[in-house]
Structure 1
Amino acid sequence: MSNMKKQRRSFTEEYRREAAGLVIDTGRTISAVAKELNLGEQTLGTWVKKERSRRGLDGEPTGALDESEREELKRLRKEVFELREDNRFLGKAASFFASKQHRSNGSN
């Protein structure tokens, strides 16, 4: 039993970006998202840093936000996340109905 090693998991780039996006787009903490996704905080933190850089967000102002700015930022991040999810769903629905339409036209 002492030879049993924990197998290292590997993740796709898309998964890493989406996980980082949960932190960036919703304003949730790295630790909360890491716990939810069963990831290490350092791992997710690295992904978040890389995704912020990829999105060009690493040069954001570093000054403290006041309470109203913090609330607005939280609301906007949540809205962006929800809109992206809606777009993803609508794209899948459109593909589904397009394929269904194509199949019904082919059987006529």
Structure 2
Amino acid sequence: MAKRYTDEFRRDAVRIAISSGLTRPQVSSDLGVGLSTLNKWVQKHQHEDLMSGPHDDVEKENTRLRKELRLVREEREVLKKAAIFFAGQSQ
């Protein structure tokens, strides 16, 4: 019996195949999909807007990631200063 894939999985596979920079054999191997199957999906979906859908979710995720990145950068600066401080005390 042939393996069935969801439409979401197919769209994600096509997006990865087109935009990841990986070769199609690499993508097909990583996803556990036959190369010919992946190529068929790409041909079928190449004209669709792969970013269509819930743009609000993408914007919310981008906002969350920017906040998280800012926090991580601030933490890194604090740790750098602490490392310099403690390195000076041990001398």
**Alignment-mate amino acid for residue 90 of structure 1:** E
Using the size of structure 1 for normalisation, the TM-score is 0.44
Indicate the structure whose relative CO is greater, using CA pairs within 8 Å and at least 6 residues apart: 1
Using the size of structure 2 for normalisation, the TM-score is 0.52
Task: Indicate whether 1:28 and 2:25 are aligned.
Answer: no
- Pairs within 5 Å for 1:1-108: 7-55=1-49, 87=58, 90=61
* Larger Rg belongs to: 2
Q: How many residues align?
A: 58
Q: Percent identity?
A: 30
Which consecutive unaligned segments of at least 5 residues does structure 2 have? 50-54, 65-91
- 1:13 CA drift (Å): 1.0
The root-mean-square deviation of aligned C-alpha atoms, in Å, is 3.1
